[in-house]
Chain A
Amino acid sequence: MGRYILGRLISAIPVLLGITVIVFLIMALIPGDPATAILGSYATPENVEKLNRDLGLDKPLVSQYFIWLGNMLQGDFGTSFSLNRPVIDEVLERFNATLILAGTSFVICSVLGIMAGVISAANQYGWADKGITFVVLLGISIPSFFLGMMMILFFSVNLRVFPVSGMWPIYGTRDIWALLNHLVLPATALAVVATGVIARLSRSAMLEVLRQDFIRTARAKGVHERGVIWRHALKAAMVSIIPVLGIQAGFVLSGAVYIEIVFQWPGVGRMLVDAILTRDILLVQGGVVFVAACYVLFNIVVDVAQSLLDPRIKT
């Protein structure tokens, strides 16, 4: 097992390098130079040139890349000019908030999605199935940012049960309850689409499995139908559900950008959008690379979970 994990980690290295190359190339395409963007269009040519030299932008592209990469490996992602603070500090702080939001959402969508899919499949063509199928269709069709706005309108403005926005109360204690209270709406809004996708996939994976011979064996030995569905069938179906959970984690992370904007959540997505609008390139670069790397590592976790579930996978 240890060797398998190590192998997966090593095979992630070229992917991580690829990510940095892609991000670097995209940023290198930017028309005009960053120094002008930082200093504004009234800057003197001397100042622009000096800043360019300070930033290392006068060097050839390849050496720029390696300098940037080397710095990042030492934890130096550069300094954000708009915030005047090291990129890595800002990213870590923001990513923490995103992780709380996206992590909660991921748990919600995995649990609810799988449950809905299993119930749907177990009652195929019944009322529960039809109801779930309809709600799921609605869920995957509604833009999460619109859903979030409607939730604010309904739960925060009309019913006044949850706060409108933010991660912490402006006044008052910052305890876990305050956080949960602020988390309910954004985490739910973020989870809806992924829940729908997971429910759909779980339903079809379950239907596929329920026709297998080993399900008949379980029934033939007198296993209760609950056990047949939730143990035998679900365990086998998880083999095809887990990879989708990995993909959906990416979608939850992506969707977090919209939800962070709608709910004023101080996460990394909102930071990126602000950084784009202020053309704070180093912050964009650092944020994108950091989040993508975390996602790659998360996918290794998914692979390991898969190999733990299915002994047929060679580890």
Chain B
Amino acid sequence: MMGFLKLLARNRLALAGGIVLSFVVLLALITPLLPLAEPNVTNTAARFQKPFSEGALLGTDHLGRDLLSRLMWGTRLSLAVGFAAAVVAATLGAAIGIVAGFYGGRTDNLIMRGVDMLMAFPYILLALAIVAALGPGLFNALIAVAAVNVPFFARNIRGITVGIAHKEFVDAARLAGLSNTRIILTEILPNVIPVIVIAMSTTIGWMILETAGLSFLGLGSQPPQADLGSMLGEARSALITNPHTSVVPGIMILIIVMSINLLGDGVRDALDPRLKSGALSRPMAATLVSRKDPVPPAEGKGLLEVQELQTQFHVKDRVYRAVGGVSLHVKPGECLGVIGESGSGKSVTALSVMGLVASPPGVITGGAVRYDGEDLIGAPYRKLREMRGRNVAYIFQDPLATLHPLYKVGDQLIEAIRSHRPISKSEGQAKAIDLLKAVRIPNAEKRISDHPHEMSGGMRQRVGIAMALANDPDIIIADEPTTALDVTVQAQILSLLDDLRRSRGLAIVFITHDFGVVGQLCDRVAVMYAGRIVEEGPTQSVLETPTHPYTARLMACVPELGAGKRRLEAIPGLPPVVDKLPKGCAFADRCDRVQADCRQGEIDLEREGTRAVRCIHPVIPLKEAAE
């Protein structure tokens, strides 16, 4: 509760709303004690006095009544009626909702049908019908407004109750032999009250507006008694000659409703856990770049060269070092595997290449990404966009989530082409069919008008690959493209990628957590742990003689086909959280070869020929492994 209040107070707008509202409510409460003129005493001699005139701070109305006094009494009435309507609607609605949700079945069905029926009315029609039946008057307007809002509460509370009615503690109460009434009062009600209060806080502004509206129409409070709405209604005929009589009550309604809305928004935000984590932030078109250190010079090792790349996530005051200085390179026609557990930074490395890391919270803080020798980090968005898909294309995991659900796959393919060169519709159509054929989708002519949800997982991933091929890129970055697929489909996709690489001379960066996949496809492999590369070398060599204890353990996790009953070895423990990286080796806590010096300080990536390792106590010495 204190945390909630603190959060609320941190939201300055909500705080302002709360203060203004408290002030207005306080004034309304003490109105009878204030030295105000009588609100209903008419004095036609002094009608329509302007504001700030003698004896009438806000002027007088068409009957010469003191506007300030009427405003205060009117506010008091409006607040009271609005609040009362909210309480009545909430109580009735909650009662109906709880009964429907708790008993379920036919009771629920019947009640909710009725509620739906009421909701089929535009709200004011119902309110008008009720007032028409009961006759104009403030109390009747209150009933009408409350009745109109009952369905809203009933529906919300029913939803919550259904959720609670099947919880263990309710079952326990039933087994203990408590009556339904007892269960509702002691188990259900305490759990729904917070929801009721929140729903009330968000609707009370509406209730005040609605009752003011009915009064404005002359169907609410009757003269001489006046709430804010009827003050406005009476003032309307003098709008042009004496606008102040309208402005005064109008502004007051605005102030009240606005402060309630500000407060209500603040309450809702404070209760939404997603706001705290920043999960509601929108990722920008390209990852933010904030490089302080000098850019490493080009080395000319490959078509794509990642040098000392550092990518971080900045969430509030915390800094997560997802990628802590990673260097990779890949040549045309070559396939580089990047392997590691989830959270090792392999995907973030891949997404950093084309500035696709969600930002906020992602920031690239150092290093370089060179395409054909040219540094892309910090390149203008326009340049990055032109290269995306045309020079460097991506294939993602889980194509159900990564393809747009509402566009036909053909249109998504055509769009990929059209983003880089203008082509006619028929040309695009033909090209899309060719692409689908290239990834061996049968019946491609018909399939282009399918939506993603109409395809199987394997087919969808083929579409994902076709989309990556659309502009004949030089480099494909495949981020766990087979993880969501079953084994046979996985093998098909892998052989497809391998064929494409050989026939088109593609450079592939293949990200995975599966050594089996690496063995089938990749020429070289880089093993990542806690945002850094811990071992690197030709696939065959690394698979045969892993030197880093982590690589060795990771390989032991893969069961070998036909190798009998080998025990599947999980690595004990979890990778370190990347905002609290330990000094020295990040794997030390899970390593069975750990020594005191492992934790002393920075360990460098040691190179020997084509092999490299970041370990001072390797499984076998790097020199031996490299031979």
Mark A residues whose CB is within 8 Å of B: 14-15, 18-19, 22-23, 26-27, 29-31, 121-122, 124, 137-138, 140-143, 145-146, 149-150, 152-153, 157, 164, 204, 206-208, 210-225, 227-228, 232, 235-236, 239, 250-251, 253-255, 257-258, 261-262, 269, 272-273, 275-277, 279, 281, 284, 288, 291-292, 295-296, 299, 309-312
Contact A23 B129 (CB under 8 A): yes
Residues from 393 to 439 in B contacting A, C-beta threshold 8 Å: 393-394, 396, 398, 401-407, 415-416, 419-420
In the A-B complex, the 5 residue pairs with the smallest Cβ-Cβ separation, listed nearest first, are A254-B124, A222-B389, A146-B250, A18-B117, A141-B258
Q: Chain B residues near A261 (CB, 8 Å)?
A: 216-217
Query: Which listed residue (A207, A216, A253) contacts B396, Cβ 8 A?
Result: A216
Chain A residues, Cβ within 8 Å of B454: 311
Known A-B contacts A19-B117, A19-B121, A222-B416; A211 and B250 likewise in contact (beta carbons under 8 Å): no
Give the residues in chain B near A279, CB-CB below 8 Å: 132
- Stretch of B23-31, B163-171, B232-240 at the chain-chain interface: B232-240
Known: A145-B213, A236-B405, A254-B123. 10 other contacts (CB 8 A): A18-B120, A22-B126, A27-B133, A143-B212, A149-B246, A232-B404, A276-B128, A291-B125, A292-B125, A310-B406
Contacts of A206 in B (CB 8 A): 282
A254-B122, A261-B217, A262-B236 are known contacts. Are A284 and B404 too (CB-CB below 8 A)? Answer: no
Which residues on B sit within 8 Å (CB–CB) of A220?
354, 356, 388-389, 393-394, 396
Q: State how many angstroms separate the Cβ of A66 from the closest Cβ of chain B.
A: 19
Contact B404 A153 (CB under 8 A): no
Separation of A214 and B404 alpha carbons in the complex (Å):
5
- B487 touches A (CB below 8 Å): no
Closest A residue, CB atoms, query B13: A137
Cα of A138 to Cα of B257 in the assembled complex, Å = 9
Please, which residues of chain A bring their CB within 8 A of the CB of B396? Answer: 213, 216-217, 220
Residue from B122, B130, B216, B402 within 8 A of A253 (CB atoms): B122
B283 at the interface (CB under 8 A from A): yes
Chain B residues near A (Cβ < 8 Å): 113-114, 116-118, 120-126, 128-136, 205, 209, 212-213, 216-219, 229, 232, 236, 239-240, 243, 246-247, 250, 253-254, 257-258, 261-262, 265, 279-283, 285, 351, 354, 356, 358, 381, 385-390, 393-394, 396, 398, 401-407, 415-416, 419-420, 451, 453-454, 464, 467-468, 470-471
B117 touches which one: A15, A213, A258, A273 (CB < 8 A)?
Answer: A15
Check B279 against A277 for contact (C-beta < 8 Å): no
Q: Which residues of B contact A254 (CB under 8 A)?
A: 122-125
- Asked if A146 contacts B130 (CB within 8 A), the reply is no
Contact B406 A27 (CB under 8 A): no
Q: Are B128 and A272 in contact (CB under 8 A)?
A: yes
20 A-B contacts (beta carbon < 8 Å): A19-B121, A26-B129, A137-B265, A138-B258, A143-B253, A145-B213, A149-B246, A153-B246, A157-B240, A217-B402, A218-B404, A221-B388, A221-B470, A222-B389, A225-B285, A258-B216, A276-B219, A284-B128, A292-B121, A310-B406
Which chain A residues lie closer than 8 Å to B280 at the CB level? 204, 207-208, 211
Q: How far is the CA of A29 from the CA of B247 in the complex (A)?
A: 38
Contacts A15-B120, A258-B216 given; does A223 touch B133 at CB 8 Å: no
Contacts of A121 in B (CB 8 A): 282
> A149 contacts which of B250, B261, B389, B420 (Cβ < 8 Å)?
B250
Docked CA distance A19–B407 (Å): 39
Question: In the bound complex, do residue A207 and residue B282 qualify as a contact, i.e. CB atoms below 8 Å apart?
Answer: yes
CB nearest to B236 among chain A residues: A149
Residues of A within 8 A of B113 (CB): 14, 18
Are A222 and B420 interface neighbours, CB within 8 A? Answer: yes
Contact B403 A214 (CB under 8 A): yes
Chain B residues with CB below 8 A from A211, complex form:
279-283, 358
**Hey, which chain A residues are within 8 Å of B116, CB to CB?**
15
- Please state if B386 and A312 are interface contacts (CB–CB under 8 Å): no
Contact between chains at A210 and B283 (CB < 8 Å): yes
Residue of B nearest to A296 (CB): B120
A309–B404 CA distance with the chains assembled, in angstroms:
13
A221 interface neighbour in B120, B247, B389, B401, Cβ under 8 Å: B389
A138 to B128 CA separation, bound complex (whole angstroms): 27
CA distance A220 to B393 in the complex (A): 7
A216 to B535, CA, bound (A): 30
A291 and B388 form a contact (CB under 8 A): no
Docked Cα-Cα span, A194 to B164, in Å, equals 34
Partner of B219, one of A18, A138, A223, A273: A273
* Docked CA distance A292–B420 (Å): 51
How many angstroms between the C-alpha atoms of A152 and B403 in the bound complex? 50
A212: shortest Cβ distance to chain B, in Å? 7
Q: Are B283 and A235 in contact (CB under 8 A)?
A: no
Inter-chain contact A145/B133, CB cutoff 8 Å: no
Q: With the chains together, A99 CA to B542 CA distance in Å?
A: 75
Once the chains are docked, how many angstroms separate the CA of A311 from the CA of B239? Answer: 52
Tell me the minimal C-beta distance from B625 to chain A in angstroms: 36
B281→A124 contact, CB < 8 A: yes
B404 contacts A216, C-beta separation under 8 Å: no
Most buried by A among B128, B134, B351: B128
B285 touches A288 (CB 8 A): no
